[in-house]
Amino acid sequence: MLLLGLTGSIATGKSTVSALLSRSPYSLPIIDADLIARQVVEPGTPGYHAIVRYFGSTTPDLLLPDAGPKGRPLNRPALGRRVFGQGEEREKDRKVLNGIVHPAVRKEMYKRMVWAYLKGHWAVVLDVPLLFESGWERYCGTILVVGVSDPVIQMKRLMERDPHLSEEDAKNRVLSQGDVREKAQRCLRRGPGRGVVVWNDKDKEHLENEVERVMRDVRKGSPKWWSFLLWVCPPLAVMSGLLSWWKMRKVQLEWEEEKKKEKTK
């Protein structure tokens, strides 16, 4: 089974592409890291209690006023204002939040990947906004980056989608997820079929055509007979996965080494 990593940056159209891949003619199972991240911090979960303990004293509006059966939900915009942006304090708080949420998200994602394999899917989409930053890159046989070439378009779409955000808040959120154009370069370094990019600067019809184009290439690299063989022979699936992991880890380490050298110049 192919692990198809889907990433991009905020307001680039990743969610739209995810929705397209979930429907015919693709009909792929979607493992949405953002959705799972919400589920693992719902009232009553260990993640929820950990966030309240750490952020409760510094974020007065951390919880919404309306309580459900298990307690008051998190005020996500307030938590976002606390952790997004520049500065040592915000960076520290962001690391703490990631340390609470990410392990719980990974555990749930692993469970859903195994279930998708057992059901015989030829691929599963790992919808992860911070795929490169969180280390998921090496696990994916193919990565699809959804990007926009113009940062102005990205900011405009974000503020139209989330009108409650100020321009500064929108800018901080864009910066916190890294430059999507750099993600595209990193993706393409993986080689043909291993890294594909969809540019979403135009309308939805153009985006749908771009998705169709790249998915044709992805399917060529993972034909039906190969998918079936991996399903009926789990040891082969394990060996194939380990080989892919080793190759993609090498690409990841080479990229990171190049970036370190650039910073020291």
Same domain for 198 and 222: yes
Q: Kindly report, residue by residue over 68-126, the tens digit of the pLDDT.
A: 778 888 888 888 888 887 778 888 888 889 899 889 999 999 999 999 999 999 999 99
Same domain for 95 and 222: no
Instruction: Look at residue 77 in the predicted model and tell me its pLDDT.
Output: 85
Please answer whether residues 214 and 191 qualify as being in contact, where contact means their C-beta atoms are separated by less than 8 angstroms.
no
Compare 18 and 85 and report the one with higher pLDDT. Answer: 18
Same domain for 91 and 8: no
> Could you say which of 118, 136, 152 is where a domain stops?
118
Return d(Cα 63, Cα 77) in angstroms, integer.
10
| Side chain identity, residue 168 | E
Number of domains in the chain: 2
Averaged pLDDT score across all residues of the chain: 89
Chain Cα centroid distance, residue 81: 20
Same domain for 179 and 71: no
Return d(Cα 238, Cα 229) in angstroms, integer.
12
DSSP 124: E
Which strands sit side by side in the sheet containing 195-199, from one edge to the other? 30-32, 123-127, 2-7, 142-147, 195-199
Instruction: Look at residue 210 in the predicted model and tell me its pLDDT.
Output: 94
DSSP 123: E
Instruction: Look at residue 199 in the predicted model and tell me its pLDDT.
Output: 93
Same domain for 242 and 136: yes
- The domain of 178 spans 1-29+122-265
Same domain for 233 and 130: yes
Mean pLDDT of 64-71: 80
CATH number assigned to the domain comprising residue 231 = 3.40.50.300
127 contact partners, CB below 8 Å, separation of at least 6: 6, 7, 14, 15, 18, 30, 31, 32, 33, 34
> Could you say which of 96, 118, 140 is where a domain stops?
118
123 contact partners, CB below 8 Å, separation of at least 6: 1, 2, 3, 4, 28, 218, 222, 227
Same domain for 103 and 25: no
Same domain for 98 and 182: no
Instruction: Look at residue 59 in the predicted model and tell me its pLDDT.
Output: 86
Return d(Cα 224, Cα 228) in angstroms, integer.
6
Nearest to 125 by CA among 255, 6, 247, 41: 6
Same domain for 107 and 159: no
Same domain for 126 and 112: no
Q: Kindly report, residue by residue over 113-161, the tens digit of the pLDDT.
A: 999 999 999 999 999 988 998 889 999 999 999 999 887 888 888 888 8
User: HEC profile for 230-260?
Assistant: HHHCHHHHHHHHHHHHHHHHHHHHHHHHHHH
Instruction: Look at residue 117 in the predicted model and tell me its pLDDT.
Output: 92
Q: What is the DSSP string of 75-110?
A: -HHHHHHHHSSSSHHHHHHHHHHHHHHHHHHHHHHH
> Could you say which of 68, 83, 118 is where a domain stops?
118
Same domain for 91 and 14: no
Same domain for 242 and 112: no
Compare 87 and 252 and report the one with higher pLDDT. Answer: 252
